[in-house]
Amino acid sequence: MEFNYDNQEKWIKNGLASFGGAILFLLIITFEIYMKGYIDKVMLIIEFVPVIAGVVQGFLFMTRSEKDYIRIEDEVMSIHRGTFLPRKKVFFDEIRRYVQYDTLFILKLEDDREAQFNMDWLSKEDVGEIRDCLSDKNIPAIHSRDTSINILFRMPVCFLFW
């Protein structure tokens, strides 16, 4: 089974924002040429990198809803982690339990490892099918209030110092 990214409106907004950033950098380059009358080759290259990155990222966001986020095969679930990273493969016999917390679907694996995916990026029907698939494989769900899930320490370290 394959479950595509949902919420196409969100991906289009992100794509348009990326294109907007690329246009902004083009305006900065144009303004710099207008004010100085010239631009150094090194500065042109440095300032043109965000333009290319914004355009590429914009196209990736615009086509995101056509890609499959979760794939479920006989013995493995694979999670798309981005364009340049390989898919995260999780074997069903390694999954001990799962929990749904806020927008995250967290799979607790052997050896205190875990894998997670964002439920906001899937339709509610797809999340229900994934939950049913895990139930069919006798993988128990636990409640997010369980003390074995230490959600407080999930926030990035940089936010602890603000």
Q: Can you give the residue ranges of every domain in the chain?
A: 2-65, 68-144
Domain 68-144: which CATH number of 2.30.29.30, 2.60.120.620, 3.40.50.10860, 3.20.20.120: 2.30.29.30
pLDDT at position 146, please?
47
All residue ranges of the chain with pLDDT < 70 are: 143-162
Q: What is the pTM of this model?
A: 0.73
Distance (Å, whole) CA 153 – CA 116: 15
Nearest CA to 70 out of 126, 124, 151, 19 is that of: 126
pLDDT recorded at residue 158: 45
pLDDT at 56: 95
What's the pLDDT score for residue 125?
A: 92
- Start-end of H helices in the chain: 8-36, 41-62, 124-136
